[in-house]
């Protein structure tokens, strides 16, 4: 047994000396060798760059309010006539988001803030403010139809967006009068796109210059510091900051940021009251009680200008809708301290030559002498129309149009035969009754 004692002593000395084995050396407890190859790298589809021949008649930058912090560039490309209807071509290009790089997929939960929660349509309107008319997207006659507008649905587009890649989308509207040569386009959370040419049937506009929609954002300073306010009888605070005032020929858009200074109860997302939302007169109801309708504009020496409203023909005559952002589910970041959203409120046109205005936040402050910038004229960026757009698509609930890349321009148009299943609504622009 003396030999066994010697072997045990030698083993103890080896352990005491700290002897180790590399992963490559064989050992008693080495895992069995695997015969499966490593998984192949995920192949990423090449990033689609902007087609520089794509007409871009207007752009706006906006950041999501759902907490994802995705900064996007919305763009308007054309308003085209088809037999019996009108088609808007627009797009979204995600530019940056926390933790994401060029070409990365966006989370599928993002919310672009343009969906109408009440009817599954889009909060995108065609405006003829000179005639006091608002054109809503065509809506399916059956209320049982899911996502009822004749469009490329936002909920589909939002599932497959990438940083730096443009997705082109469409919305269909009632037929415009033959005399209408230009129309304004309102993506409700950004300033109105002014004076967009309406191209004849069978034609598309051309680009006057190349535009890279994925280029970086050029930021601009806001017009004011945030003004903090308290809610009466409640221990919570929010703030309002005025970012931009854009004056068009018929409408004035005020862009502002609402931020939560303290946590907010979830049921406070909708509805709001003053100073965020205007107090409704007796006997008048709003279809959007959480609208950003509370601010007022004042030109020195003149009366206060209040937000524009529109009729809602499917409801009673005493129901109206604000021509402004509606703080719905897309603004869920406001529930938490530090959450912020950017909204837009539309007012009547300012007197010619107005360079500054006062913005009143009722019950909080009046912010004097804020500068006004002129709205860009979309017609200046729209070249002479040419024949194009021969393709057609039909809306299918099981396979709705998912949008197009810019290389697909001119994009196909909705098949005219399906228009009989849809109804168009033309609203009136009105002042708030009884105000």
Burial (Cβ within 10 Å: 0-12, 13-18, ≥19) of residue 184: buried
Per DSSP, 432 falls in state P
Q: How many CA atoms lie within 13 A of 271 on its CB side?
A: 16
- State the Cα–Cα distance between residues 368 and 201, nearest whole angstrom: 47
Tens digits of per-residue pLDDT, 6-21? Answer: 434 444 434 344 433 3
Residue 20 included in any domain: no
* Overall domain count for the chain: 1
Q: By percentage, how much of the chain surpasses pLDDT 90?
A: 68
Query: What is the rounded end-to-end Cα distance, in angstroms, of the chain?
Result: 109
Share of the chain residues as helix, strand and coil, in percent rounded to the nearest 5: 10, 35, 55
Tally of CB atoms within 10 A around 435: 12
Name the pTM for this structure. 0.88
Cβ proximity of 424 and 138 under 8 Å: yes
Cβ proximity of 93 and 70 under 8 Å: no
Residue 31 included in any domain: no
Cis-peptide, bond into residue 345, ω within 30° of zero: no
Tens digits of per-residue pLDDT, 220-251? Answer: 899 999 999 998 878 889 999 999 999 999 99
- State the Cα–Cα distance between residues 49 and 166, nearest whole angstrom: 8
Dig out the tokens for 183 from the structure. 């129309």
Domain containing residue 198: 58-212+223-430
Q: How many CA atoms lie within 13 A of 208 on its CB side?
A: 11
Tens digits of per-residue pLDDT, 18-31? Answer: 433 343 344 444 44
Check residue 25 and give its pLDDT: 41
Residue 246 included in any domain: yes
Contact partners, residue 212, CB within 8 Å, separation at least 6: 49, 50, 52
Cis-peptide, bond into residue 275, ω within 30° of zero: yes
- State the Cα–Cα distance between residues 73 and 216, nearest whole angstrom: 10
Taking every pair of Cα atoms in the chain, the longest distance, rounded to a whole number of angstroms, is 114
Residue 10 included in any domain: no
Residue 201 included in any domain: yes
Check residue 116 and give its pLDDT: 83
**SS3 of 7, please?**
helix
Residue 249 included in any domain: yes
Tens digits of per-residue pLDDT, 257-291? Answer: 999 999 987 644 446 889 999 998 988 888 888 89
Please state whether beta strands 71-82 and 85-96 pair in parallel, antiparallel, or not at all (unpaired). antiparallel
Contact partners, residue 210, CB within 8 Å, separation at least 6: 52, 53
Tally of CB atoms within 10 A around 234: 11
Of the candidates 193, 161, 216, 186, the residue with the CA atom closest to the CA atom of residue 56? 193
Tens digits of per-residue pLDDT, 184-203? Answer: 999 999 999 999 999 999 99
Reported as type and span, the H/E element at residue 10 is: helix 2-16
- The radius of gyration computed from the CA coordinates of the chain, to the nearest angstrom, equals 28
Dig out the tokens for 219 from the structure. 């930021």
Contact partners, residue 375, CB within 8 Å, separation at least 6: 191, 192, 194, 246, 247, 248, 249, 253
- State the Cα–Cα distance between residues 191 and 199, nearest whole angstrom: 22
Tens digits of per-residue pLDDT, 374-408? Answer: 999 999 999 999 999 889 999 988 888 999 999 99
Cβ proximity of 171 and 407 under 8 Å: no
- State the Cα–Cα distance between residues 134 and 132, nearest whole angstrom: 7
Residues present in the chain in total? 435
Please state whether beta strands 413-414 and 392-393 pair in parallel, antiparallel, or not at all (unpaired). parallel
Dig out the tokens for 350 from the structure. 């300012």
Residue 218 included in any domain: no
pLDDT at 308 over 80: yes
Residue 7: what are its φ and ψ, rounded to 5°? -65, -45
* Strands (E) located in 248-389: 251-260, 285-286, 296-298, 304-305, 309-311, 319-322, 340-348, 356-361, 365-371, 373-374, 382-387
Check residue 3 and give its pLDDT: 40
Check residue 20 and give its pLDDT: 38
Per DSSP, 117 falls in state T
Of the candidates 10, 113, 27, 32, the residue with the CA atom closest to the CA atom of residue 67? 113
- State the Cα–Cα distance between residues 103 and 49, nearest whole angstrom: 10
Residue 13 included in any domain: no
Cβ proximity of 134 and 427 under 8 Å: yes
pLDDT band at 48 (very low <50, low <70, confident <90, very high): confident
- State the Cα–Cα distance between residues 78 and 89, nearest whole angstrom: 5
């Amino acid at each position: 047994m003396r030999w066994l004692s010697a072997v045990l002593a030698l083993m103890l000395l080896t352990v005491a000396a700290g002897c180790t084995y590399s992963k490559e050396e064989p050992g008693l407890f080495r895992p069995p060798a695997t015969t499966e190859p490593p998984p192949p790298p995920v192949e990423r589809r090449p990033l689609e760059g902007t087609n520089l021949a794509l007409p871009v008649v207007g752009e706006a930058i906006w950041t999501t309010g759902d907490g994802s912090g995705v900064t996007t560039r919305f763009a308007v490309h054309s308003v085209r006539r088809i037999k019996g209807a009108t088609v808007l071509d627009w797009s979204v290009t995600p530019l940056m988001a926390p933790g994401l790089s060029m070409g990365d997929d966006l989370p599928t939960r993002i919310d672009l803030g343009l969906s109408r929660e009440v009817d599954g349509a889009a909060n995108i309107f065609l405006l003829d403010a000179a005639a006091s008319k608002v054109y809503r997207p065509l809506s399916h006659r059956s209320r049982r139809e899911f996502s009822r507008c004749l469009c490329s649905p936002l909920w589909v587009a939002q599932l497959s967006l990438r940083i730096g890649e443009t997705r082109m989308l469409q919305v269909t509207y009632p037929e415009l009068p033959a005399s209408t040569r230009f129309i304004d386009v309102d993506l409700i959370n950004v300033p109105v796109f002014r004076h967009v040419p309406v191209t004849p049937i069978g034609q598309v506009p051309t680009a006057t210059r190349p535009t890279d929609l994925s280029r970086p954002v050029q930021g601009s300073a806001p017009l004011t510091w945030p003004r903090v306010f308290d809610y009466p009888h409640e221990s919570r605070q929010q703030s309002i900051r005025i970012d931009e005032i854009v004056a068009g020929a018929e409408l004035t858009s005020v862009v502002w940021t609402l931020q939560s200074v303290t946590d907010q109860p979830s049921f406070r997302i909708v509805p709001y009251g003053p100073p965020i939302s205007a107090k409704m007169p007796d006997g008048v109801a709003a279809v959007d009680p959480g609208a950003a309708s509370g601010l007022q504009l004042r030109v020195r020496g003149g009366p206060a200008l209040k937000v524009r409203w529109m009729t809602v023909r499917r409801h009673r005559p005493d129901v109206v809708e604000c021509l402004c952002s509606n703080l719905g589910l897309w603004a869920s970041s406001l529930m938490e301290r530090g959450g912020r959203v950017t909204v837009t409120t539309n007012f009547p046109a300012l007197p010619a030559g107005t360079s500054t205005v006062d913005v009143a936040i009722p019950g909080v402050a009046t912010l004097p002498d804020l500068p006004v910038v002129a709205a860009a004229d979309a017609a200046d960026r729209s070249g002479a129309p040419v024949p194009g757009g021969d393709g057609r698509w039909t809306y299918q609930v099981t396979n709705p149009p998912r949008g197009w890349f810019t290389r697909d321009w001119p994009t196909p148009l909705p098949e005219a035969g399906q228009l009989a299943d849809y109804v168009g609504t033309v609203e009136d622009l009105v002042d708030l009754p009884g105000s």
